[in-house]
């Protein structure tokens, strides 16, 4: 039987120097790698997609409720969700947002990488900006645009280190980012997940965008302002503030004026009748002789239900009566041609003439009063007509204002209803965001231990790997070495007997070094 253990030990000890040196070199490299390699941390997060949202409405009915359906996801849906999460636009948006906030910086490894490559944009951009473009400008040629490529380079680097995969047989998406800065990586993954949910909500939402609502609100505001301005102009043109109240006030004024007008008309008719009567009586009084002293009107005046007599006319009338009685007495005593009778007649004529003049004055006063009444009536008629015309204008304005108010109220109601539906839609969106079919299953956190390198794992595995590789290298050398190592190989290969074996090894003449010293270790390596 072939002894495999003997064969293994023979090959091992025959090539022990090569195996030992290779193992030592490999072990040294393994021990140095944790010191030379840069630390890398894995930021992990998980997203669960519970169902797929299907919109069942358009933009016209987007503010109504119960317009969407949810169905189970398929493998294609999970791949779509993973593509959305790893999309270039989403990663770039996250980088730009963090850069604007000052929470993202280019990794040093990338800077070193691009500095070592002279033809990258970090070198060509300043060259183009400060050398090429000025020369092209002097020659009258079109200059090239200079763009900042830091974001693009960071995007490429992050996309290489970002792993977004769907866990097999599940609806969970795993997000892993390898970075040397765990704090910045955690912030990046958190913002990436936030932007993913927001972008996904915008992609799958059937509600109107906020810009459309703002435009609609501005349209309502402009229309309402225009109607209010028109309403204000109408009121200013009519010098009115509240047409309904002013119409009521003017109607009351018209009613009062018409009552007063009727009273003045009655007084005018009465005054005209009395004037005609007085004029006729005055004519009759002038035709009658002096003996008829009684005038058929006393010229009393009623004020507040109290009758006031005309004292002057009464006194002249009484004197006229006395003089008539004195004339009658004189005629009894004297002849008609006597001097006393003539004096009595002369005084009586003067008094009678005075009495008629007073009556004429009173009639003239009544005529003037009649003219005043006529002018007052005309003034009241004009005032009533003016009030009625103002009422007609106010009624027309009130009709136009009623139309404007109806339109304004309709706009207010429409705007209020639209705003209410929009607010309800926002609340529904927030509820949908809470009850979204995609949720963050595991939020990223800042790790305390690096993912690479891990010395406790790397060194044992490296030493074991070095040992196996060293033994394999010894076997490979043995496979290509065709020299005889033991006497049995001579008999096996040549078929001749072995008569004598001479050991040519030399004994060690010098004294070995002290164990566990540097000279002893170096001697052990060379041996």
Q: Which of 59-68, 135-144, 214-223, 390-399 shows the lowest mean pLDDT across its residues?
A: 59-68
53 Cβ contact partners less than 8 Å away, ≥ 6 residues apart: 68, 69, 70, 204, 437
pLDDT, one tens digit per residue, over 89-146 is 888 888 888 888 887 775 544 334 434 343 444 445 556 666 676 777 676 666 666 5
Q: Which of 174-178, 189-193, 400-404, 517-521 shows the lowest mean pLDDT across its residues?
A: 517-521
pLDDT of residue 9: 79
Strand spans (E) along 102-216: 162-166, 172-179
pLDDT, one tens digit per residue, over 208-236 is 556 677 777 788 888 888 888 888 888 88
Highest mean predicted confidence (pLDDT) among 33-42, 124-133, 197-206, 304-313 = 33-42
pLDDT at 389 over 50: yes
pLDDT at 23 over 70: yes
pTM: 0.45
250 Cβ contact partners less than 8 Å away, ≥ 6 residues apart: 387, 390, 391, 394
pLDDT at 423 over 80: no
> Looking at residue 242, what DSSP letter applies?
-
Per the model's pLDDT, the better-predicted residue between 279 and 437 turns out to be 279
What band does 262 get if pLDDT is binned at 50, 70 and 90? very high
What's the token pair of residue 293? 């002293």
In angstroms, the CA 205 to CA 212 distance is 14
Q: Which of 320-329, 362-371, 380-389 shows the lowest mean pLDDT across its residues?
A: 320-329
Query: Quick one: average pLDDT of 28-43?
Result: 82
How far are the Cα atoms of 86, 104, 106, 140, 154 from residue 158, in angstroms, in the given order? 10, 12, 10, 40, 6
Phi and psi (nearest 5°) for 183? -65, -50
In angstroms, the CA 117 to CA 157 distance is 15
Query: Quick one: average pLDDT of 502-524?
Result: 59
In angstroms, the CA 420 to CA 492 distance is 101
* CA atoms within a 13 Å half-sphere pointing along the CA-CB vector of 27: 12
State which H helix or E strand residue 54 sits in.
strand 52-55
Highest mean predicted confidence (pLDDT) among 141-145, 203-207, 286-290, 418-422 = 418-422
pLDDT of residue 115: 40
Per the model's pLDDT, the better-predicted residue between 477 and 489 turns out to be 477
Instruction: Share the mean pLDDT of the chain.
Output: 76
pLDDT at 179 over 60: yes
What band does 402 get if pLDDT is binned at 50, 70 and 90? confident
pLDDT of residue 322: 81
User: Are 416 and 221 contacting, i.e. CB atoms less than 8 angstroms apart?
Assistant: no
In angstroms, the CA 62 to CA 425 distance is 9
Per the model's pLDDT, the better-predicted residue between 330 and 485 turns out to be 330
Nearest to 151 by CA among 209, 110, 210: 110
Describe the crossing of helices 4-14 and 455-480 by its angle, rounded to 10 degrees: 100
How far are the Cα atoms of 278, 294, 456 from residue 302, in angstroms, in the given order? 18, 22, 132
């Amino acid at each position: 039987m072939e002894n495999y253990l003997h064969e293994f030990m023979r090959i091992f000890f025959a090539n022990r120097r090569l195996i030992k040196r290779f193992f030592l070199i490999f072990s040294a490299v393994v021990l140095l790698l944790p010191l030379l390699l840069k630390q890398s941390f894995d930021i992990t997060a998980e997203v669960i997609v519970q169902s797929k949202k299907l919109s069942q409405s358009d933009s016209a009915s987007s503010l109504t409720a119960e317009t969407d359906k949810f169905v189970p996801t398929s493998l294609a849906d999970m791949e779509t969700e993973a593509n959305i999460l790893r999309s270039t636009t989403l990663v770039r948006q996250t980088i730009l947002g963090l850069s604007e906030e000052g929470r993202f910086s280019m990794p040093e490894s990338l800077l070193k990488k691009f500095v070592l490559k002279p033809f990258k944009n970090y070198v060509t951009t300043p060259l183009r900006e400060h050398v090429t473009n000025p020369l092209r400008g002097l020659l009258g040629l079109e200059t090239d645009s200079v763009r900042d490529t830091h974001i693009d380079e960071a995007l490429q680097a992050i996309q290489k280190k970002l792993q977004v995969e769907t866990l097999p047989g599940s609806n969970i998406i795993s997000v892993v980012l390898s970075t040397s800065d765990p704090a910045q990586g955690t912030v990046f993954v958190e913002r990436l997940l936030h932007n993913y949910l927001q972008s996904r909500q915008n992609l799958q939402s059937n509600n109107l965008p906020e810009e459309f609502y703002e435009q609609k609100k501005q349209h309502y505001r402009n229309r309402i302002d225009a109607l209010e301005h028109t309403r204000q102009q109408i009121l200013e043109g009519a010098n009115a503030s509240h047409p309904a109240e002013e119409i009521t006030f003017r109607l009351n004024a018209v009613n009062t004026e018409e009552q007063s007008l009727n009273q003045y008309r009655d007084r005018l008719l009465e005054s005209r009748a009395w004037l005609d009567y007085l004029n006729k009586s005055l004519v009759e009084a002038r035709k009658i002789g002096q003996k008829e002293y009684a005038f058929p009107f006393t010229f009393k005046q009623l004020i507040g239900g109290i009758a006031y007599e005309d004292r002057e006319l009464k006194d002249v009338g009484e004197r006229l009566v006395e003089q008539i009685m004195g004339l009658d007495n004189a005629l009894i005593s004297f002849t008609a041609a006597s001097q006393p009778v003539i004096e009595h007649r002369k005084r009586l004529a003067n008094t009678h003439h005075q009495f008629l003049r007073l009556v004429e004055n009173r009639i003239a006063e009544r005529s003037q009063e009649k003219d005043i009444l006529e002018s007052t009536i005309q003034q009241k008629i004009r005032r009533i007509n003016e009030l009625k015309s103002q009422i007609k204008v106010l009624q027309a304005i009130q009709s136009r204002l009623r139309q404007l108010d109806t339109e304004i109220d309709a706009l207010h109601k429409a705007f209020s209803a639209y705003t209410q539906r929009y607010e309800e839609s926002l609340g529904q969106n927030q509820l949908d965001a809470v009850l979204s079919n995609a949720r963050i299953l595991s939020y990223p956190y800042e790790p305390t231990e690096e993912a690479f390198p891990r010395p406790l794992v790397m060194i044992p595995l490296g030493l074991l790997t070095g040992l196996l590789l060293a033994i394999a290298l010894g076997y490979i050398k043995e496979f290509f070495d065709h020299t005889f190592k033991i006497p049995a190989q001579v008999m096996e290969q040549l078929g001749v007997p072995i008569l004598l074996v001479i050991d040519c090894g030399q004994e060690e003449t010098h004294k070995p070094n002290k164990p566990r010293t540097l000279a002893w270790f170096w001697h052990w390596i060379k041996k």
